[in-house]
Chain A
Amino acid sequence: MISVLGAPLSAASGVDLAYGEYLASECVTCHRASVDEGAIPAIVGLPTRYFVSALRDYRAGRRANPVMQNVARSLDDQQIEALAAYFASLKEKGPES
């Protein structure tokens, strides 16, 4: 079966969760792990496909917000996938992880 939205990429595709966790330390300065703070949405547990397409859209300027465009321009595809896999993996463990 093809994996569905939200399925972890990590084991199957070899995406490095440790690398994703390191990259994610940059995200949590603004995106809280536990609470959706409104103006800056929670990103923990986002489906990987949504996460990847959102970051690519920011990088291409198709999605507005200069901070996120700036962040996304600093990420290559592999880094975006590592981040997506890491944030999706948090959902599996639950919000306290």
Chain B
Amino acid sequence: MMQSVTRRDFGVAAGATGLALGAAGMAPRLLAAAEGRVVVIGGGPAGATVAKYVAKDADGALAVALVQDTSPFTTCFYSNLYLAGYRDFDSITHDYDALREAYGVDVIIDRAIEVDPVGRKVTLAGGRVLEYDRLVVAPGIDILYDSIEGYSKAAAEAMPHAWQAGPQTQLLRRQIEAMAQGGLFLLAAPAEPYRCPPGPYERACSVAHHFKQHNPNAKILILDAKESFSKQGLFEDAWAKHYPDMIEWVPGEFGGKVIAVDPDAMTVTTEYETYRAAVANIVPAQAAGAIARQAGLADDTGWCPIMPATLQSQMNQEIHVLGDACIAGDMPKSAFSANSQAKVCAMAIRAALTNAEAFPPRFRNTCWSTVAPDDAVKVGATYQATEEKIAKVDGFISETGESSEVRSETRAEADAWYASITEDVFG
């Protein structure tokens, strides 16, 4: 039986038998047979990060397969900047070449359709079956079309959600560009929890930026299922400053909750009123990606409870759930959170399957929101794993009335962060 071989031990062994290895012409990595198999479902900021970090740090000791249904991957974070016209689509789209070539991750473009937690196997739509010692489930969100009467996957072709980046985002951009002068842009925002809490309000800024230049009499109406929202004071301040009289927000208690849509008539109905929209951006309630729910990893909320220190599923300790699909306590559903959780998860997996050291978990998040071409705000926090949840320790938020210099720096910082995190995830 093969003994566990760490990177350092192997280096010694290879040195001792260097001549033989040289003669055989074998790469050391090939000799260090993988001690364990890690399968990751989902190639977003959670899944791609965990695949990369496990592969990088295990250095051949673990075989890592990443199952992702589409490639290349367009990030939902920063897709609002594409909608505003600040970024082109290619700049928010990333491939998996580096994961394959630099880190040796087996990136499989296919869809996971079944998890067998007893046999420890994942079946793919294309017929392949992957065996695992540890499974990471990071499928992101599913849109709950049924949560709004009349909404469906087909209806989303007329009334896009654009809350999973890709063709939906491009469709919404085309609709914004083609909108009649003076039309109504309607944005339906969901109740918590959902992906990217400040996202709908940043999106209003993005669309308003386009209208300010090309359609100055257009209006934006946000119909919200909630009574308040992330960075509310900062956003309301930005709306008044940059887009006066263009954006109106209706909270749930004043009839903001959308209960039905009619994509043929382009109408949106709340408890009190029916609106006719030129463009309707419907962001419904969400749940953990289907594979997580099918695998029995979700609770009644539709999201997946985890053990805070390791991101192991509370339903099955050989499976980790991270990113938007998991219940991450005080952490918001964001790319930054997903990337942070992935590093903790990668360390936990290496400690479980190899003799790698496990350090105390650390979590953090920062969310930048771009409110105008040269104006951005941010919110962030550090978190720690407690018995019950990932709990917030200490945080900050931008202040209203900050100088234009500070806001300009924050805006530049956001772009630098995007370049960096996408390199950390995909590069």
Number of interface residues of B (CB under 8 A): 31
Contact A19 B382 (CB under 8 A): no
Q: Which residues of B contact A66 (CB under 8 A)?
A: 378, 380, 396, 398
Q: When chains A and B are docked, how far (Å) is the Cα of A19 from the Cα of B396?
A: 26
Interface presence of A49 (CB below 8 A): no
Partner of A30, one of B362, B381, B394, B417: B417
Please give me the residue from chain B that is nearest to A64 by CB atom: B406
Contact A40 B336 (CB under 8 A): no
The 0/1 profile, CB within 8 Å of A marked 1, for residues 356-372 of chain B is 01010010101000000
Q: When chains A and B are docked, how far (Å) is the Cα of A29 from the Cα of B364?
A: 10
Q: Which residues of B contact A67 (CB under 8 A)?
A: 366, 378, 380, 396, 413
The number of residue pairs between A and B whose CB atoms lie closer than 8 Å in the complex comes to: 75
Q: Which of A5-13, A70-78, A84-92 contacts B (4 or more CB under 8 A)?
A: A70-78
Which interface class (under 10, 10 to 19, 20 to 34, 35 or more) fits A? 20 to 34
Please give me the residue from chain B that is nearest to A22 by CB atom: B359
Please give me the residue from chain B that is nearest to A69 by CB atom: B396
Chain A proximity of B274: nearest CB distance (Å): 43
Please give me the residue from chain B that is nearest to A73 by CB atom: B394
Interface presence of B340 (CB below 8 A): yes
Interface presence of B313 (CB below 8 A): no
Interface presence of A28 (CB below 8 A): yes
Contact B380 A26 (CB under 8 A): no
Interface presence of A39 (CB below 8 A): yes
Chain A proximity of B412: nearest CB distance (Å): 4
Q: When chains A and B are docked, how far (Å) is the Cα of A24 from the Cα of B421?
A: 13
Chain A proximity of B262: nearest CB distance (Å): 43
Partner of A23, one of B362, B380, B395, B424: B362
Q: Which residues of A contact B409 (CB under 8 A)?
A: 39
Contact A38 B378 (CB under 8 A): no
Partner of A26, one of B362, B394, B412: B362
Contact B417 A29 (CB under 8 A): yes
Contact B362 A40 (CB under 8 A): no
Contact B339 A29 (CB under 8 A): yes
Interface presence of B343 (CB below 8 A): yes
Q: When chains A and B are docked, how far (Å) is the Cα of A18 from the Cα of B412?
A: 32
| A-B contact sample (9 more), CB < 8 A, given A26-B340, A71-B382 | A23-B362, A26-B343, A29-B420, A31-B420, A32-B420, A37-B419, A39-B413, A70-B381, A74-B364
